[in-house]
A = this chain, B = another copy of it.
Amino acid sequence: MIVAGRAAASETDVTIDQDSAAWRQRLSARAAAAPASGIAEVMRHGFGRAGIIPLWVGEGDLPTARPICDAAAQSLARGETFYMPQPGIPELRQALAAYHDRLYGGLFGQAFPADRFFVTGSGMQAIQIAITLATGPDDEVLVPTPAWPNFHAAVGVAGARAVEVPMHFSPSGWRLDIDDLKAAITPNTKAIFVNSPSNPTGWTASEENLRGLLRLARDNGLWIIADEVYSRFTYDTQRLATPSLHALVAPDDRVLFVNTFSKNWAMTGWRIGWVEAPPAVGPAIENLIQYATSGVAVFMQRAAVCALNEGESRLAALMERTRKGRDIVVEALGKIQGISFASPGAFYLFFRIDGVTDSTAYATALIEDANVGLAPGSAFGAGGDGFFRLCFARDPETLALACSRLADRIARP
């Protein structure tokens, strides 16, 4: 009976697979080719496991602060449930401008104007819009890797091509070689993606790095898509934020900043972000928002205003906790033989284990044997295999436990 049952199940599987293959052929090439996330693959393996410590996602373990949630609830209670202006409500665009003034002391010697800011339904959507603005079919975007895989995939869905330019690893730091980027430029190149601090490597561009990138973009008429999502996660206690292109750009530079409320204000589940662009590009951005999701709920935007205007002390507390988490993982994993990593940035430790070549298989084994979930480095493109990404924006005790489990498992042959 059991054998028959198995046979039946397996036949069903075959039917489903054939069915999937037939449907896949009916889809457009770009939809069929959109890759599944390599992080999700490992997560599926460990999801729901008793006692697992999930450090695979770029998400803290604290819910959104109450005042931010209340701002949304109060807006709902006021009946703010109608269509909204496509670029965002004026109050939020103004709050974004003021926030940037506080961080960067203005732009081009003046206060940031509100009309540089366009509210989007997630940082991911900000990226999607930036890609559409900068590229057409068969155009190329240079992506220093390892990099967040969603950028690469979104370029593909948009019909363009992400060209991976591997960065150079040593325990003294990841290094971006501008000449590598330069060598990868072709007549089809339209943009460079710059993610600093980097997810997953933690690489944080110096002003000199940013100057080099800007020069390269200017010399070649390229856009820069600047993802400074983790800019507030600076471990230099003298700074409010990591070095930014905001300090270097001229009015004529083709820079599109993409950002999100997710990380700074523990709002990952909200799906709200922004694009910052020259105001002259505004009408095109408004149209792209219109034809993508047609705006962001007003009550969400009220919450975002609250985050910007009242969230600074909580962000400082979150940073303090993240700094502690960073110290714990650096100390614990730094002691393990055969592990190497550069000084971590953003809220990730990206470490290599000597002798590991298949990150996905090893990450799966870590779930089975250590009950710790990490993102496999192979998911982040060229140069990532053999590495693992650990998110340390978590409760310090849990992090310590995870590290001790990892140390036990990695010590085993």
A 254-275 binary contact with B (CB < 8 Å = 1; else 0): 1000000000001111110000
CB distance from A250 to the nearest CB of B (A): 14
CB distance from A291 to the nearest CB of B (A): 4
Contacts A81-B270, A132-B157; A69 near B63 (Cβ below 8 A): no
| 10 closest A-B pairs by CB | A63-B79, A73-B73, A34-B287, A64-B81, A23-B280, A69-B76, A28-B136, A154-B291, A81-B269, A122-B293
Q: Are A31 and B133 neighbours in the complex by a CB distance under 8 Å? A: yes
CB distance from A92 to the nearest CB of B (A): 14
Chain A residues numbered 296-322 whose CB sits less than 8 Å from any CB in chain B:
296-300
Q: Which of B35, B84, B137, B153 contacts A269 (CB 8 A)?
A: B84
Taken together as a complex, chains A and B put the C-alpha atoms of A281 and B27 apart, in Å, by 8
Taken together as a complex, chains A and B put the C-alpha atoms of A296 and B122 apart, in Å, by 10
Q: Which residues of B contact A110 (CB under 8 A)?
A: none
Q: Which residues of B contact A294 (CB under 8 A)?
A: 122, 124, 150, 271
A 1-39 binary contact with B (CB < 8 Å = 1; else 0): 000000000000000100110111011111110111100
Chain B CB within 10 Å, residue with most, of A268, A269, A278, A295: A269
CB distance from A248 to the nearest CB of B (A): 19
- Does chain B have a CB within 8 A of A128? yes
CB distance from A28 to the nearest CB of B (A): 4
Q: Which of B19, B150, B254 contacts A290 (CB 8 A)?
A: B150
